[in-house]
Copies of this chain bind each other. A is one copy, B any other.
């Protein structure tokens, strides 16, 4: 039955890395669900699962992870979402603000800030886990730092 099979899929991917739908089909077969890759593909789509790159080196393995539906629908603005989910730390000095993110997150944060086009900001530079935000004036520092903190605060727990 479709529902139980899909639940089995969720259980499987929560347990171990799965690298392809063929592999998933094999694992399901071992549990008594005999289905083809085609069906697995449909299940994966219905469950909203996505294949995420595990590490960026060549030859890196992949596994399935699910993207919770809420991620794509809940947050109102991209900037808000990105800051809330990716910014770990905020600190400012003179006319500069440094934002820390998990590894690999900096470019997304920088991109989102650019897109927001805040007038106080004259530019951003995103590295791997650090974003440098340059302000037009030293006077803007406390206001903008506070704004970042506020965006961040709404999801501080995770």
Residues of B within 8 A of A92 (CB): none
- Interface contact B103-A14, CB-CB below 8 Å: no
Q: Closest approach, in angstroms, between the C-beta of A56 and any C-beta of chain B?
A: 5
Number of copies of this chain in the oligomer?
A: 2
Alpha-carbon gap, A158 to B154, bound state (A): 7
Chain B residue contacts of A72, Cβ below 8 A:
52, 65
Task: Tell whether, in the assembled complex, residue A104 and residue B48 are in contact, meaning their CB atoms are under 8 Å apart.
Answer: yes
Q: Which of A98-128 contact B (CB under 8 A)?
A: 102-105, 107-108, 110-112, 114-115, 126
**Interchain CA distance A9-B91 in the complex, whole Å:** 28
Asked whether B84 lies within 8 Å of A69 as measured between CB atoms, the reply is no
Residues of chain A at the chain B interface (Cβ within 8 Å): 3, 6-7, 10-11, 14, 44-48, 50-53, 56, 60, 65-75, 78, 82, 84-86, 102-105, 107-108, 110-112, 114-115, 126, 154-155, 157-158
